[in-house]
Each structure stands twice: as C-alpha cells, then as structure tokens.
Chain A
C-alpha cells in the first residue's frame, strides 16, 4: 500500500510491452495477445488490492458499514 505498488504496475506494463513486442517479431501473435491479457490481469489484481484498502478506510472513517 505504498509507492512501490505504482512502480510494480509500471514495471509489469513495461515488461508486458517488451514481451509482446518480442513475440510479435517472432510471429507468435496469439501468444503475444495471451501475454498482454495475463499482464493486464496481474496489474488489475494489484490495483484492486489498493482499492480494497481504500474502501476499507472509507468504511471505517465514514461508518458506512
């Protein structure tokens, strides 16, 4: 729940971009698409964990329950 998470997401994004580029050069289009989707899911899960902690804080602060 700190700045490193942002860099992790950015790192995943760059990694995925590189992998997709490599796979496309080698002519494996479908693998490239699968890698892109996998990277997206991973990053989204990370973001969701951050949003979950945000919702928990909001629930505690405003007693929304």
Chain B
C-alpha cells in the first residue's frame, strides 16, 4: 500500500511539473500513473474472483450470473478510469460520451440477469403454490 501511495505522489508531482513545460505530457503521465495503480490493485484481487466463481459453481448457480456480476464491476472501474483521464486532459465531451457508453454496456450486461431473476422468482412461486 505504501508503494502505491508513493507512486501516486511521484506521478502527480511529475505531471504537475510537466504541465508548465509541455502540457500533453502531463496528461500522459497522469494516465500512466492511474493505469499502473489500478492494475497493481487488481492483481491482488484476482484470486478472490477465481474463488468466487468456483464457489458459485459448487452451489449450482449458473455461471452466467457471477460472470455478469464481475463484468459489471470491471466495466465500472474501467469507465471511471477513462472518464477521469479524459477530464484531466480537459476533454469533457469525450468523458461524457465514454460515460454514456459505459452505462449502456453495463445495462446490456445485466439485462439477462434481470430476466433470469424474474424467471427464478416465478419458478419458486409456482413450485410452492401449484
């Protein structure tokens, strides 16, 4: 954790320096720092998601559902990263469009899950009250 905080500080300060010299490099350095931090954090979480998928499989949950859950998480984090980097570069239009794209993608991922949720609920009720 300390390593990550140090890298974040160094990256931010360097980017600030570059802003007075050549502005575009500030955006590049900021983006690279953010990418590095995100990747480093996610590497530690990879084990968790594997265990989660395997445990869900053991209990007979169809593998589409936990996969969707993880997809939503991934899309959310990636979109957040891209939007913030674009905003740093001052391109709010790009950021806004990326945000809309992310929202649409998440909703389209979760639609099958919503359908299966309603179907399972109906099947349960039908089973209990024939």
Residues of A in contact with B (beta carbons under 8 Å apart)? 1-3, 5-7, 9-10, 12-14, 16-17, 20, 36, 40, 43-44, 46-47, 50-51, 53-55, 57-64
Contact = CB atoms under 8 A, between A and B. Distances in A.
Nearest to B14: A10
22 contacts: A1-B36, A5-B32, A6-B7, A6-B32, A6-B33, A9-B25, A9-B28, A9-B29, A12-B25, A13-B18, A13-B25, A14-B18, A36-B22, A40-B25, A50-B39, A51-B31, A51-B32, A58-B38, A58-B74, A61-B43, A63-B70, A64-B70
B98 interface: no
Q: Is the interface of A mostly helix, strand, loop or mixed?
A: helix
Contact of B45 (A2, A16, A51, A61): A61
